[in-house]
Structure 1
């Protein structure tokens, strides 16, 4: 009789523990309530608690990605959306995960990744017109980006050519200026050498004048002789 009573007490003690235990669905509901109230950090806590009980719960994974997204934790949100997409069996909900990945990549101008995510979303839900619109828009933006990059490269190439031509013209100009300038590096004439050259020139000038004078005198003498 005493043994039976002990078992009953033990069972009665376990009842409050079992009653207080919450399931992953309970935490998801609490997280959804906080999310609707725009209490995103609190909803994140609840969804993480749900995943601590069942780490492959696709609803908890997707909702946690949304909560992170609303807090601008984009890279982490993508990680949970990818996990949700890989574990989700329902194609409609799977498409939502890929759609959100596309939105994040598009916002970061990662157009190839956004296009890939939107395309995957449409494979699971071909009737999603919003995803289709975003896919077309991303393709256009990617094309525009490539054209802009091409134009920038062409402009840079033209600038480099112009700069090269300008540098070439400057070098030619410097070369002509150097040729026109007197050679400053030539040894300068000393004062003594200058005086010697000057004296020599003066001496040459005197000799020339003397020759001219002698020539005139001879001519005059000849004229006198002829007149006589």
Structure 2
């Protein structure tokens, strides 16, 4: 029995010492926090939280993290405190959680946190103001996103039209090139035909000296006819003469 009492007294004393240490650590942390020495204050609050999870230092730790712009870590700390079961503590934790989300550009999450804070403390005007502020920021963001999307769509449509215009221009240039190419082929063929005709004309011109006119041909034909007639006449006369001659033997 005596030993049990001694053990109980020892535990009570230890608890008192821990509570006193917790209180001292939180007090020193608060002093550092007031001096804006948030890193040093964070270290004191962490020690206090390790001694007592329900220590005020646990809440103040989230504030020190928030002041250092460690919004993700601060949010995690406040989220743990919000589920502690104490409505007053939950309201404050959700309020600060909403602030952490807001600073981290997570507007929808911050709105939900502020709403939970008001459920635990409907009379908190500061939380109500922050909620309205976050909702307005969300509307602005949604409008900005919509405008950006519309501008992007317009730009894409403009680029598509430009591409179509460029395609048509390229097709037209291609058609013009094909036409020019076909025209070049026609011109080449025409030149070839012309060269061929020129060669033919040159050949005809080269053969022209041997070519006789119609009048010369007629004269030549008449001359040939006359010669043939004369020859025929001669042959006819000779025949006739020969027929008339009587050849006799010389003996």
Q: Which has the larger radius of gyration?
A: 2
Q: Which moved more, 1:27-36 or 1:152-161?
A: 27-36
Deviations 1:7-58 (A, max 9, x none): xxxxxxx9xx97986532332222223222322222211111112212x215
Q: Does 2:53 align with 1:60?
A: no
Whole-Å separation in 1 of the counterparts to 2:93 and 2:55: 10
Aligned residue number for residue 23 of structure 1: 21
**The one of 149, 152, 157 aligned to 2:153:** 157
What's the CA shift for 1:64? 0.5
Aligned residue number for residue 133 of structure 1: 129
**The one of 26, 44, 47 aligned to 2:45:** 47
Deviations 1:97-144 (A, max 9, x none): 111111121122211011011111111111111111111121121122
Distance 1:176 1:197, change over 3 A: farther
Whole-Å separation in 1 of the counterparts to 2:71 and 2:110: 13
Aligned residue number for residue 105 of structure 1: 101
Distance 1:201 1:76, change over 3 A: farther
1:134-213 paired onto structure 2 within 5 Å = 134-181=130-177, 182-183=180-181, 195-200=195-200
> In the comparison of the two structures, how many residue pairs are matched?
191
Distance 1:82 1:147, change over 3 A: same
What's the CA shift for 1:201? 6.1
Distance 1:164 1:37, change over 3 A: closer
Distance 1:75 1:200, change over 3 A: same
**The one of 34, 38, 46 aligned to 2:36:** 38
The alignment partner of 1:87 has SS state of: coil
Task: Give unmatched runs, 5+ long, in structure 1.
Answer: 1-13, 206-213, 215-228
The alignment partner of 2:69 has SS state of: coil
Task: Give unmatched runs, 5+ long, in structure 2.
Answer: 1-9, 206-213, 215-251
TM-score, length-scaled by structure 1: 0.70
Aligned residue number for residue 69 of structure 2: 72
Deviations 1:72-118 (A, max 9, x none): 222111111111222251x2332111111111211222110110111
Report the aligned-residue RMSD.
3.5
TM-score, length-scaled by structure 2: 0.65
Distance 1:57 1:201, change over 3 A: farther
The alignment partner of 1:122 has SS state of: helix
Q: Which moved more, 1:17-26 or 1:99-108?
A: 17-26
What's the CA shift for 1:60? 2.0
